[in-house]
Every structure is written in C-alpha cells, then in structure tokens.
Amino acid sequence: MSLTPRIDGDRLLGRLDAFARIGATPAGGVNRQAFSVEDRRARRLLAELALERGFTVFQDGIANLFIRREGTDATLPPFLIGSHLDSQPTGGRFDGALGTLSAFEVLEALEDARAETRMPVEVVAWANEEGSRFAPGVMGSMAFTGADTAAWKSIVGADGALLAAELEATITALPEAALRPTGMPISGYVELHIEQGPSLEKEQLPIGVVTAVQGTRWLEVSIQGTSGHAGTTDLAYRRDPMVAAIAAIHRLQTTIMPLDSSARLTVGRIAARPGSINAIPQSVAFTVDIRHPRAEQLNVIEAEVRQVCAAEAEAQHCTAVIKRSFDMPGAAFSPDMVNTVEEAARSLQLQYKQMISGAFHDALFLARVAPAAMIFVPCRDGLSHNEAEYVEPGDAVIGAHVLLRTAIMAASPR
Ligand code: GLV
Ligand code: MN
Ligand code: MN
C-alpha cells in the first residue's frame, strides 16, 4: 500500500548542511568549482546516498550525474528534476545545491511512501553550470541537448587547468556510476532554485513561478598596447592598454545600464600582462557579461561594447580584439509546465507570482527539448554569487514541497 509522499524538512536541511561542508569557505560560503576535487566529493556523496537507497546512478560524457527511480510504464521517457552542485569561486550554499538536494529529497519522499509514478523520475546534477572556472557555463545541459562540444576539449580554465583532463578525472572518480550516452529523450524538466534577486523577499512571496529566462552573452576583450618602462616612458610615447580598458569600462558602465533599466553589464574579470608593478602592460584582457530580456537588445549592447572598446583603444594608440565566448538567447518555458507548477503552489495554499529569471539556468536548454519550468524561492537581500547567500530554512522546505507536488503531477499525467 502506498502512502502520501511527504518532504522530510529536517532531512533536506541536514543534507544542505552536509553539502555546504564540501568546499566550505571561512566566510560561510562554498568554493566547489566545476570538475574540481570538491565538485567530485559532492558528486560522490550524492551518488552514495542514492545507492544506499537502492536507486540507479548514471553519468554521461560531460559528467552530468543522474539518479533514477523507475516508473510503472517503462515505455515512457523519464521526468527530470534537478539543478547543479558546482559553485562560483566564492559562491553561496544554495545556488544549485538547493535544487539538486530538493530533487533528491523528492525521490526519497516517493520511495518512503512507496508511491508509484507512471514515468521514471530522475534527479540530475548538471555539470559545470557556473562556467566560472571553465567557460562557458551550462555545459552539462548544452551537451545533453545536442550542442557541438568538439571545441571544448581544448578549453583552459581560469586556473590554467585543462578541461579535458579535469573532466576525465571527474568521471573516473565515480566508477559506481555507469556511463551512458550524453542526451536522451525526456518527458519534462523542473528545477527549483533560489531567486538570486530581491523581489520575492520584498513582496513576501514564498514562491516564484518562472515563465522565461532572459538572454546572456559573454565577450572576451583583449586590448593590446606596448609594454614599456614605468619610469622612463613619456606620456607621448605610451601605448597603455590599461588606460584604454579603464576608459572603455567606465564609459560602458555610465551609459548602458543608466539608460536602460532592463540591461545588465558586468566586468567580472580583468588581467594585465605581464602584470608587473613597474611596467606598462603589454595587454589587458577583461570579460563582459551582458543580459537583457529582449534578444535584439543583446545585439545592440554588444555593438556598443565593440564600438566603445575600439574607440578607447584607438585613443591610446592600442588595438582591441573582441571574441564572443558565449551566446545564450533567452527562452520562454512551456505554458503547460508553468501551469503544473502553479497548480502545485495553489494546492499547497501558497501565494506566488509569475516572473522572469535574470540569471541563466540549465532549464533554458532543457526547454528546447521538452516542456520545462522553474520554481524560485526567496533569498535574503537578493544576494547570490556571494558567500553570504542565505535562504530561510522554511522557504527552502516550501520550495521542496512545490517541487514534489509538481513532480507527482507531471510524472503521472492524467
Ligand atoms: C548563473 O550562474 C548566471 O550567471 O546567471
Ligand atoms: Mn545556479
Ligand atoms: Mn550561479
């Protein structure tokens, strides 16, 4: 006889604590970057918990990790729930971990209750969602949904590590997880995540039902000048790429966002070569992260970045080379799956609002191959990609309840 599946809030919160210890930073966050030793430890812990419960564990060629619970109809593709376990270098405890561990809690709740679903339900921890160590991000879901990954073999990480070697080491560190091909038909996908912005907390809403994700574009700018002596080189003879880079960044930051409240532009990484205190740099490289809900605006902003960088480089007798390293158009989620999430929230008497995600997520790529949606819960002060990221325990558990209800409805359609 089956019981009504129930989320065990204490079990979920205990798991969040246990995973936060893997790669814990002194300031209370996590550093568990993709394919690192810490990332491997987190994957191992999740796989061990899954095997203890009798679930089957798989991984694919990009190190996506899957935990499967069978359904009653073996002809149906699985319904996927999950998120990611990798983090930013100074990341929070909840970005990715909340969705992954809540998805595992859902699987355990179904198992505890001996509940049947028509479709198999699989928990997935997508590989390298963050893209901070190895750009681009959302590698796992891109590969899973058919992206051409041939060029990824030669990617070198921000720390100089080779992606191919770190990926291989990550996969071989988990021999218990059988390898299966990357990509397969799925019935649908739902991801629980923290909002990473302030609106739910401000409006005192426990749930956001995500209807779309805005687009992201990443640029790599390199400004080339001439290295020279700091003490002897007269202003007239300088070709200083640092001056050009700073002028370009300042111009972009004082125009793009102030003139368009929907636009986002971030320079998160900058490096001078050779990086010597008493040498004019030979080159300065920086990244530009652009976001906008309207696809055509990404083109407009990219054109502006190119024009400003070229002009400021020229003003210093330098040259600018700009490469687009990541282009992720926004996407709308399936109205049916969004309805299912809303129905789940309503059935739990929870207030919610529909919203667009400012952050990118693996769900964006899954939405291309199956009905997908996302559930957001509030986080304190909207803070994320920050070690101080915090979610009220009760809010985390509410999110898991909505995920469970959604999964039960979606995996056993009437
Ligand atoms: C995800 O980590 C993002 O940068 O939006
Ligand atoms: Mn995330
Ligand atoms: Mn993130």
Q: What percent of the chain has pLDDT over 90?
A: 99
Q: Is the pLDDT of residue 58 over 80?
A: yes
What are the pLDDT digits (tens) for 337-352?
999 999 999 999 999 9
What b/e sequence results for 67-76 when a residue is b if at least 16 CB atoms lie within 10 Å of its CB, and e otherwise?
Answer: bbbebeeeeb
Contact present, 187 and 77 (Cβ < 8 Å): yes
Q: Please report where in the chains the tokens 């966002």 appear, as a residue.
A: 257
Domain annotation covers residue 247:
yes
Q: Is the pLDDT of residue 300 over 90?
A: yes
Cα–Cα distance, 263 to 292 (Å, whole number): 5
Q: Which domain holds residue 35?
A: 9-213+330-411
CA of 177 to the centre of ligand 2 (A): 23
Residue of 363, 386, 391 whose CA lies nearest to 375: 363
**Is there a single domain that holds both residue 255 and residue 366?**
no
Cα–Cα distance, 221 to 140 (Å, whole number): 26
pLDDT, average across residues 313-339: 97
Starting from the CA of residue 138, give the closest ligand. Answer: 1
What domain count does the chain have?
A: 2
Cα–Cα distance, 302 to 250 (Å, whole number): 16
Choose the final residue of a domain: 271, 305, 328. Answer: 328
What are the pLDDT digits (tens) for 279-299?
999 999 999 999 999 999 999
Domain annotation covers residue 4:
no
Cα–Cα distance, 240 to 226 (Å, whole number): 7
Residue type at position 120: P
Per the prediction, the chain carries an average pLDDT of 97
pLDDT, average across residues 123-135: 98
Residue 66 near ligand 1, beta carbon < 6 Å: no
Counting ligand 1 atoms within 8 A of each CB, the residue from 83, 88, 287, 360 with the most, and so the one to mutate, is 360
Cα–Cα distance, 349 to 35 (Å, whole number): 40
Cα–Cα distance, 97 to 87 (Å, whole number): 9
3-class state of residue 124 by DSSP: strand
What are the pLDDT digits (tens) for 178-225?
999 999 999 999 999 999 999 999 999 999 999 999 999 999 999 999
pLDDT for the residue 4: 94
The model's confidence at residue 1, banded by pLDDT at 50, 70 and 90, is low
Number of helices and strands (H, E) in the chain?
A: 12, 17
pLDDT for the residue 414: 79
Cα–Cα distance, 192 to 170 (Å, whole number): 25
Contact present, 136 and 218 (Cβ < 8 Å): yes
**Is there a single domain that holds both residue 190 and residue 253?**
no
**Is there a single domain that holds both residue 254 and residue 290?**
yes
Q: Is the pLDDT of residue 89 over 90?
A: yes
Q: Is the pLDDT of residue 112 over 70?
A: yes
**Is there a single domain that holds both residue 194 and residue 294?**
no
Token output for 281: 């740099």
Cα–Cα distance, 124 to 343 (Å, whole number): 23
pTM for the full model?
0.96
| Beta-strand relationship, 188-194 and 372-377 | parallel
Domain annotation covers residue 3:
no
Residue type at position 247: A
pLDDT for the residue 72: 97
CB atoms inside a 10 Å sphere around CB 114: 10
Q: Is the pLDDT of residue 407 over 70?
A: yes
pLDDT for the residue 108: 98
**Is there a single domain that holds both residue 304 and residue 156?**
no
Select the more confidently predicted residue: 385 or 153: 385
3-class state of residue 175 by DSSP: coil
**Is there a single domain that holds both residue 109 and residue 178?**
yes
Choose the final residue of a domain: 296, 328, 360. Answer: 328
Contact present, 42 and 19 (Cβ < 8 Å): yes
Domain annotation covers residue 1:
no
Starting from the CA of residue 213, give the closest ligand. Answer: 1
Ligand 1 atom with the shortest distance to the CA of 359: 5
